[in-house]
Amino acid sequence: MPTGVYIRTIEHNNKNSIVNTGHIVTDITKQRISDSNTGKKRSIEFCIKRSEQMNEWYKTHDAPMKGRKLIGKNLDRVRSLQTGVKQSEKTKKKRVETRRRNKVGKTIFSKIAKENLSIGAAKRILKGHDNYARGKRGYFYSNINKQSIWYMSSWEESFYKFLEQHDDIIETYTEQFMRLPYMWKGSIHQYIPDVLIIYKNDKKQIIEIKPKFKLKELQTQTKLVAIKKYCLDNNIIFTLITNNIFSNHYLLN
């Protein structure tokens, strides 16, 4: 072979791809490749070029993890592998630097990523699987609904128990019952109202429980505008409660 740089043709690459299809790489070979790449840093030009190549490839191929969900044994296996694992100082430093990309201590997310994160969080809440909720959360049995009710704060728990004392006027009530999209900082987010009450006289009421300090937040104000418009369009009474002292005047007679 002549000396110098050897550039493989597309036909040669396609031939190699066909030959190597189904070929199993041994552990020794994997380790040898790993050792040879240890400590090497890829240039920015290489990363950009590689990213463009993968984007083109995914236009005609499915991503290997696209649409896949870890369930059952696979999820338990991943969790068991991560349990008790300690990150090296190098890994911790790298994660911190990643979060500081926009110089304010937060990771930069694209508009689509933000919307997907909001939808995912809303789905977890609706299913009662929100592991990121702050404060007290859990279930209690509702005699009105004849089933367990999920609450995400001590205020919600107290309010639901308050509703149980008014089974003479309340037909049923539903907690975290819907996703309401709203615009926030240029992307679509999902807002989940606290409770929908259906009375025996067929009246409907949506109640949101928020402490007063939350009302100062611009995002909370945007949520309230969205839910008020929804209630107005659907002939539903909206009530905002800003304390944990519940009285009969909050309910519709």
Handedness of CA 16, 19, 22, 28 (dihedral sign): negative
Q: Are 160 and 197 in contact (CB under 8 A)?
A: no
Distance CA 193, CA 177 (A): 7
Which helix (H) or strand (E) segment holds residue 211: the answer is none
Give Cα 132 distance to the centre of its chain. Answer: 10
Whole-prediction pTM value? 0.51
Q: Is residue 108 part of a domain?
A: no
Token pair 């004849």 is found at 146
Q: Is residue 177 part of a domain?
A: yes
Establish if 87 belongs to a structural domain: no
Expressed as residue numbers, the domain containing 193 is 115-250
Is 29 inside any structural domain?
Answer: no
| pLDDT (0 to 100) of residue 190 | 86
pLDDT of residue 1: 45
More confident residue, 68 or 180: 180
Instruction: Provide the residue type at 47 as one letter.
Output: C
Report yes or no on 102 lying in a domain: no
pLDDT at 79: 64
The dihedral region occupied by 246, where left means phi > 0, alpha psi between -120 and 50, and beta the remainder, is beta
Q: Residue 120: give its domain's CATH number.
A: 3.40.1350.10
Q: Is the dihedral of CA 94, 100, 105, 107 positive or negative?
A: negative
pLDDT, greater one: 128 or 23: 23
How confident is residue 60, by pLDDT bands cut at 50, 70 and 90?
confident
The domain total for the chain is 1
Which residues, at least 6 apart from 209, have a Cβ–Cβ distance to it below 8 Å? 153, 155, 156, 159, 194, 195, 241
Give the phi and the psi of residue 228 in degrees, each rounded to 5. -65, -40
What pLDDT score does 228 carry? 93
Report yes or no on 57 lying in a domain.
no
Residue 46 covered by a domain: no
Residue in 185, 199, 181, 186 with CA at minimum distance from that of residue 236: 199
Cα→Cα distances 130→60, 69, 72, 147, Å: 35, 17, 18, 19
**Residue 48 belongs to a domain:** no
